């Protein structure tokens, strides 16, 4: 249903939604989703649809201080763990993360196992959604936010250029979805997309995804960008195909 909503977004969305409803006119939950869509767009419809089957989203996830599934593990909160995971994805070591948080490595390892198990066993996805929110806020973490990796991926991209790109990914949704399309195109053409990011942007997949958390968690933006991402994927795919065939690089694609 949501995919059809997204595909129809370029036309009359309200009529498209009503037309889609005719396929399942007697489904109560479906009608609730439709009403939410017509009132608040894709994000409201997504949140309502998830709630109707007992799931939360990043917008509806709750952080009840009394929730046993969100209690710190050896003093490591879910924000600590999510930010730490983001830093590990950027090239930091466990030892770096532990030192900054002031915990011993065995305690971090136990916390990692516990938090992963909580996310795995939570049928509502509440823990996962809280984690995802904080993963995207790693740079704001009081202790880990400024931590720089000791084992940063090897790249010829200057660090200041990589930082500028990271900032652009966080503030320019068109650019973020362009890079998502580029990664898809890379893998489609037999190229390691993760290594392509390191070589061309000086960033890891974790850094890129963390920078775009707010874009990926907003269904309205996802709907708006779906055609743009597909267009950019096709352009990069043509570029990669030319490169592999010795045809040169497309001049109109900018990083």
Residue-wise DSSP of 71-99: S-BTTB-HHHHHHHHHHHHTT--HHHHHH
Q: How confident is the model at residue 8 (pLDDT cuts 50, 70, 90)?
A: very low
Helix, strand, or coil (residue 1): coil
d(Cα 10, Cα 30) in Å, to the nearest integer? 22
- H/E run at residue 120: helix 105-121
pLDDT of residue 117: 97
Answer with the residue of higher pLDDT: 90 or 165: 165
- Check residue 21 and give its pLDDT: 44
Provide the pLDDT confidence category of residue 161 given band limits of 50, 70 and 90.
very high
- In angstroms, what CA-CA distances link 36 with 1, 14, 32, 106, 218? 13, 12, 6, 46, 15
Q: How far apart are CA 145 and CA 142, in angstroms?
A: 6
pLDDT one-digit tens code per residue, 190-213: 999 999 999 999 999 989 988 998
Half-sphere exposure of residue 43, counting CA atoms within 13 Å on the CB side? 14
Through-space distance between the first and last CA atoms of the chain, rounded to whole angstroms: 34
| The predicted structure's pLDDT at residue 45 | 64
Instruction: Give residue 104's pLDDT.
Output: 97
Q: Which of 11, 79, 24, 71 is closest to 52 using CA atoms?
A: 24
| 3-class DSSP assignment, residue 154 | coil
pLDDT band at 214 (very low <50, low <70, confident <90, very high): confident
Q: Is 216 exposed, middle or buried (0-12, 13-18, 19+ CB in 10 A)?
A: middle
Q: Which of 133-137, 158-162, 172-176 holds the top average pLDDT?
A: 172-176
| Span 110-155, pLDDT tens digits | 999 999 999 999 998 999 999 999 998 999 999 999 998 887 788 9
């Amino acid at each position: 249903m949501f995919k059809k909503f997204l595909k129809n977004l370029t036309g009359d969305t309200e009529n498209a939604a009503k037309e889609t409803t005719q396929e399942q006119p007697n489904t109560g939950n479906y009608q609730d989703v439709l009403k939410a869509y017509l009132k608040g767009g894709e994000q409201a419809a997504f949140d309502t649809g998830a709630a109707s089957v007992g799931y939360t989203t990043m917008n509806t996830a709750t952080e009840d201080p009394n929730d046993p599934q969100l209690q710190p593990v050896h003093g490591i909160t879910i924000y600590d763990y999510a930010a730490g995971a983001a830093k590990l994805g950027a090239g930091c070591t466990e030892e770096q993360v532990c030192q900054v948080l002031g915990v011993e490595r065995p305690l971090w390892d136990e916390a990692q196992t516990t938090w992963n198990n909580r996310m795995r066993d939570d049928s509502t996805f509440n823990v996962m959604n809280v984690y995802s929110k904080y993963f995207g806020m790693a740079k704001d973490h009081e202790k880990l936010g400024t931590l720089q990796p000791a084992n940063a991926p090897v790249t010829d991209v200057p660090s200041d250029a990589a930082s500028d790109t990271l900032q652009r990914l966080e503030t320019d949704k068109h650019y973020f979805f362009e890079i998502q399309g580029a990664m898809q195109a890379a893998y489609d053409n037999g190229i390691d997309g993760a290594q392509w990011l390191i070589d061309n942007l000086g960033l890891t997949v974790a850094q890129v995804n963390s920078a775009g958390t707010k874009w990926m968690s907003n269904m309205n933006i996802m709907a708006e960008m779906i055609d743009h991402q597909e267009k950019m994927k096709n352009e990069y795919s043509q570029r990669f195909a030319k490169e592999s065939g010795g045809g040169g690089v497309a001049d109109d694609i900018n990083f």
